[in-house]
Amino acid sequence: MFRNSFESGPDNISKLTKKKERYEDASSVIELNFFRHGDKETDKSKSDLEIELTKAGGKEAAAKSKTKNMGQSLAFGSAKNRAQQTAGLVMAGSSECITGEESLAELKKILGQELKVGSKIGIDKHLDYVIDMKRPYDQQVMAAFRKGEILPFLFNDSDRLAKAEDIKEGFTYSGMAREIALIVDKYLKVAPRWDKLVADDKNKYTKIMERYLGSHQGITEMFLAKVIELIKGVEERNLFQIALNNEGFGFVEGYQVQIINKAGEKSKVYVFYKKEDDGKIVYQFNQEITPQILDQIIKGK
């Protein structure tokens, strides 16, 4: 059993502000749900962009859905179909019209029926990755994936090795952490405007905006790992790595970032992640992150 990220063990969770308590006196909230895509097809006739979820993968993603009213929700994924499809199903799976077996095109059509413009599912480039197998560095990345050791490689070696090859944008610890931090930062900047919209009764908004963000193994973990490292230290980050068996998130596994507004106060950002095994918590992280920490990650420090 791995220890909990709270210094005094699991019982110390009661000393932290829980989500329910944070929301009770909040004037508005933005929830960002980050997760890996679901189980994917192995159809060799399709390109990597075209690969979608298996039926089991779609059902699993839809089963994660808790959204009853999607009026203030949107889903985003990488340019790869499976990531968008997963995000859409996690968002909309609670709807009676969704079975979990929909293709991405079918899902977009169903969810777009009541929209005058736009789509409920979109692409966010920050959730994507690029691998160039002509580069020695990227060959090492894929070798680490095949060995089931991608997390120790990314945490301990990736930044140094990429720098040695003068790779400015690549699949690295600091690089992927920065991409997710940029998403969080965007919504942190949106938060004051959202708070004003909610406060205006004529808009008839409920106070929670939800975003569902589907990505790939080794991407969203980097932001969470950086946050853990900057707040708790490298040893604590290594416990997170062990909890993920050195490989990263499983299918449709991830965490939530909560941006909380309270009247007269600056927006606050919280990160929450919990991993369970047989009903027992093996790792948990529930902390506020400051704008300074977010800025450090964006600057690659």
Percentage of the chain with pLDDT > 90?
Answer: 85
Least confident interval from 110-119, 199-208, 263-272: 110-119
**What are the beta bridge partners of residue 34?**
213, 255
Cα separation, 143 vs 149, whole angstroms: 9
Look up the pTM and report it.
0.93
pLDDT, tens digit, 9 for 90 and up, residues 212-243:
999 999 999 999 999 999 999 999 999 999 99
pLDDT in tens, 42-95: 999 999 999 999 999 999 999 999 987 899 999 999 999 999 999 999 999 999
- 167 Cα distance to chain centroid: 25
**Segment 151-155 mean pLDDT:** 98
Is 239 a member of any domain?
Answer: yes
Q: For 87-109, what is each residue's pLDDT tens digit?
A: 999 999 999 999 999 999 999 99
Report yes or no on 233 lying in a domain.
yes
Establish if 3 belongs to a structural domain. no
Query: In this predicted structure, what is the pLDDT of residue 3?
Result: 40
Angle between helix 173-199 and 291-298 (nearest 10)? 140
Which amino acid is located at 292 in the chain?
Q
Mean pLDDT of the chain: 92
- Structural domain tally of the chain? 1
Residue 243 one-letter amino acid: A
Q: Give the domain extent around 242.
A: 10-34+62-80+125-298
Q: Is residue 272 included in any domain, yes or no? A: yes
Specify the pLDDT at position 17.
57
Task: Please check whether residue 204 lies inside any domain of the structure.
Answer: yes
Tell me what the mean pLDDT of segment 154-168 comes to: 96
